[in-house]
Amino acid sequence: MSDNHEQQSSSNKLVKRLQRQVGTAVTDFNMIEDGDKVMVCLSGGKDSYAMLDFLLTLKARAPIHFDLIAVNLDQKQPGFPEHILPEYLDKLGVDYKIVEEDTYSIVTDKIPEGKTTCSLCASKIALGHHMDDMVETLFLNMFHGARLKSMPPKLVSDDKQNVVIRPLAYCREADLQLFSELKGFPIIPCNLCGSQENLQRKKIKAMLQDWDEQTPGRVVNVFRSMSRITKSHLLDRDLFDFVNLSTAQADQLEEFDIAFDESPMETLIQRSDLATANQ
């Protein structure tokens, strides 16, 4: 009886945490506004199912009105269980559209970032990328593109017709996996994952998983660092005027010669050790 109670309590905390993270991300980046029609890209994977679930909850609770339409691209892939998504969405009572396109012979990767196949008159397009995806992309660009760039939580699509949003930006993949198991989503496996980018992404994912085991909190710190940028302590001359830098601009500078910021947790540990030593 006690074990069941603890398990139920843990599940409730997980759901509330994820719902709070989605709501915070939507608010922080003004992802959804009153009157929006949000196209929820549904692949049949755990992340897109979870995103739809959270957006349905947000729609029911939010003080603004917005509409959702789930969209899946049916690539006519051999063996694809095309009945699963319609049955699931009919059961939920969610508006949806299955876009049929025979692209199996040429599709080997995800739709490139910012590109879409059909807007369906939606003002926003929601993608199911989470925190881990964003950190992985940061390292992919650093390691293989020599560029400090990740997935933004909100951007304008390449055709300039839609705003793309990522409501799961603050969510960890491990939590989404647990949520998927809790909800029992009818997962559709993807076997189009043999591209070079995805192979490299798997290597980086393994690196992050090792960090989670060996140094908990490191992945979250990397993610948070993307929102705490000190331009004067990088090397991009387009972002900061190093050429004309002088002491005359000292009052306008954010920071000076401190190149490494101590971890807040490390500082607390050091204070605790010092207090213990003085007792």
pLDDT of residue 101: 66
**Tokens found for residue 61:** 């609770």
Report pLDDT for 141.
96
Residue 192 confidence (pLDDT): 41
Please provide the DSSP assignment of 210-228 as one string.
Answer: HHHHHSTTHHHHHHHHTTS
Is there a domain that residue 231 lies in? no
Looking at residue 84, its pLDDT comes to 93
How far apart are the C-alpha atoms of 204 and 201, rounded to whole Å?
Answer: 5
Query: Residue 248: its pLDDT value, please?
Result: 87
If one counts the domains in the chain, the total is 2
178-237 pLDDT, tens digit each = 999 999 999 988 664 334 558 899 999 999 999 999 999 999 999 999 999 988 889 999
Whether 156 and 35 map to the same domain: the answer is: yes
In a domain, 76, yes or no: yes
In a domain, 232, yes or no: no
Q: What is the Cα–Cα distance from 47 to 238, expressed in whole angstroms?
A: 36
Residues of the chain under the 70 pLDDT cut: 1-3, 101-120, 190-197, 258-279
**Residue 230 is assigned to a structural domain of this protein:** no
Domain enclosing residue 265, as ranges: 237-278
Indicate whether 105 belongs to any domain: yes
Q: What is the CATH number of the domain that holds 220?
A: 3.40.50.620
Quote the pLDDT of residue 40.
Answer: 97
